Amino acid sequence: MITVALPKGGLLNDSIRLLKSIGLDFSAFLDDSNRQLEIWDATHTAKALLVRNYDVPVYVEYGQAQLGIVGYDILREKQPKVAHLVDLQFGQCRMSVAVKASSPYRSSIDLPPHCRVASKFVNCANEHFNGLDLPVEIVPLYGSVELGPITGMSEAIVDLVASGRTLKDNNLIEIDRLFETTARLIAHPLSYRLNLDGLQERIEQIRTAVVPVA
Q: How do the domains of the chain map onto residue ranges?
A: 2-91+182-209, 93-179
For 153-184, b/e burial (b = at least 16 CB within 10 A) is ebbbbbbbbeeeeebeeeebbebbebeebbbb
pLDDT of residue 34: 85
Angle at 105 between CA 101 and CA 106, to 5 degrees: 85
CATH fold group of domain 2-91+182-209: D-Maltodextrin-Binding Protein; domain 2 (3.40.190)
In angstroms, the CA 67 to CA 81 distance is: 13
Please tell me if the domain spanning 2-91+182-209 has the same topology as the one spanning 93-179: yes
Confidence of residue 44 (pLDDT cuts 50, 70, 90): confident
How many CA atoms lie within 13 Å of 54's alpha carbon, on the beta-carbon side?
Answer: 4
Q: What is the pTM of this model?
A: 0.92
With 60 as the cut, is the pLDDT of residue 5 above it?
A: yes
pLDDT surpassing 80 at residue 30: yes
3-state secondary structure the chain: CEEEEEECCCCHHHHHHHHHCCCCCCHHHHCCCCCCCEEECCCCCEEEEEECHHHHHHHHHCCCCCEEEEEHHHHHHHCCCCEEEEECCCCCEEEEEEEECCCCCCCHHHCCCCCEEEECCHHHHHHHHHHCCCCCEEEECCCCCCHHHHHCCCCEEEEEECCCHHHHHCCEEEEEEEEEECEEEEECHHHHHHCHHHHHHHHHHHHHHCCCCC
For residue range 150-186, what is the model confidence (pLDDT) as tens digits?
Answer: 999 999 999 999 999 999 999 999 999 999 999 999 9
Distance CA 78, CA 71 (A): 11
pLDDT at 74: 97
Residue 205 has pLDDT above 90, yes or no: yes
The pLDDT value given to residue 71: 97
Q: Give me the pLDDT at residue 42, please.
A: 82
State yes or no: pLDDT of 214 exceeds 80.
no
- For position 159, what pLDDT does the model report? 97
Q: pLDDT tens across 132-147, in order?
A: 999 999 999 998 999 9
pLDDT above 80 for 211: no
pLDDT of residue 43: 81
User: Which CATH number applies to 93-179: 3.40.630.10, 3.40.190.10, 3.40.50.2300, 3.40.50.460?
Assistant: 3.40.190.10
Asked whether the predicted pLDDT for residue 110 surpasses 80, the reply is yes
pLDDT beyond 90 at 213: no
Is pLDDT above 90 for 196? no
pLDDT at 197: 85
Residue 46: HSE in the Cβ half-sphere, 13 Å Cα cutoff: 23
